[in-house]
Amino acid sequence: MDFGVVLQTNPPAQRTVALARMAEEHGFSHAWTFDSHLLWQEPYVIHSAILAQTHRIKVGPYVTNPATRDWTVTASTFATLNEMYGNRTVCGIGRGDSAVRTLNGKPVSVREMRESIHVIRELANCREVEHNGATLRFPWAKTSELEVWVAGYGPLALKAAGEVGDGFILQCADVDITRWMIDTVKSAADDAGRDPESLQFCVSGPMYVGEDWDHMREQCRWFGGMVGNHVADIVEKYGDDGSIPTALSDYIKGRQGYDYNEHGRAGNSHTEFVPDEIVDRFCVLGTVDEHIDKLKQLRDAGCTQFAGYLQHDNKEETLRQYGEHVIPGVAEHVTATA
C-alpha cells in the first residue's frame, strides 16, 4: 500500500511545501492538494515548488474538474511539470464541487468528465487528440506520462472510473463503503474488457494520531460534512433506491445546508449533523495500533493507496507517527501475509 497526504493550499505557500517535503521524508509517495482557486491558493504553482524541493514524491490535485479548468491548459500544466521534474504528477479529477459551486455553477455531467479525461490524458502523454474539431498535440512534449484517477460516489461516476480511469479516488475511509465502491469499479472495468487489477484505488480521509477521541472527532467532523455534500447530490438524483450503500446516505437526513467558505475547515459550523459514528467510520483516528488495524482492513478491501487529510491541529506529529510507526507497521503486515 502507498501513502499520500492531502493538503490545503492555505498561505503561506511555503508551509504547504514544507509539509509535502516532510511527508516525503516520512515515506509518503504522494502529496495531493485541494483545487479550488477562490478558496485557496493556486495549487499548480505550489506543485512546482514542491517538485523543486523534493526528490521522489508525486503531486496532483485532489481533485480538479473540467468546468473551471480548460482541458488543454490542464494537460499542458501536467506535461510541463513532467518535462521539468520527471514524471512525478498524477491527475485526480471529478465532476466539480467547491471550485464550481463558489462560482454558482454546477458539476459537469459524467459524459463531459469522461471526454475531458480523454483529452487531458492524450495530450499529457504526448499523443494527438481530436478536440473542438481540431487535431491537437503538444509539439514540445516528448517524455511526459500522466495517469488520470477518477473521483466519485454515484453509479455513473463509478462506472466511468472502471471504464476510463487509471485509478479511482474515494473520499471516505469507511471499510464497508470502500469494499463496495472498489468492487463496483472493478466490475465496471471487467465489463469493459479491462484488467481490474491494473487500476489504482486511492481511499482517503482525515488521519489523526492521538488518544483524545472527543478532540480528534471535533477536529475532523468537517470531513463528514464535505462527503455529505457529495452524497446529497447523488441522493437528489437517484433517490434512496439502493444505488449507494445506506451507510453513506442515511446520515445526511439531518443536513440543512453547507457554507463553502468553511469547506474543509476544522470547526466547520455546518457539520453539527454529522454524528460521532460517521466521523469514526469515515476517518482514521486513534493510536498507532488503531491506525494500523484500520489501514490493514482498507488494504484487504482493495485499497492500493491511503491518502490522509491533514486539516487539523496535529499535522507534524501525525506525519512523524506515520513515518516512524504506521507505514512500517502496515508494511510488516504485508510481508507477513505475502
What is the per-residue pLDDT across 107-161, written as a single tens digit (0 to 9) for each? 889 999 999 999 999 999 999 999 999 999 999 999 999 999 999 998 999 999 9
Whether the per-residue pLDDT at 236 is higher than 70: the answer is: no
Return the biggest CA–CA distance within the chain: 58
Say what the pTM is: 0.90
CB count, 10 Å around CB of 294?
A: 22
- Segment 183-212, tens digit of pLDDT: 999 999 999 999 999 999 999 999 999 999
Strand-strand pairing, 305-309 and 129-131: unpaired
CA–CA distance, 134 with 66 (Å, rounded to integer): 19
Looking at residue 235, its pLDDT comes to 63
Helix (H, G, I), strand (E, B) or coil at 331: helix
Looking at residue 102, its pLDDT comes to 73
120: Cβ–Cβ under 8 A, 6 or more apart, which residues? 71, 74, 75, 78, 91, 93, 146, 148
- Segment 2-15, tens digit of pLDDT: 999 999 999 999 99
Confidence of residue 261 (pLDDT cuts 50, 70, 90): low
Whether the per-residue pLDDT at 256 is higher than 60: the answer is: no
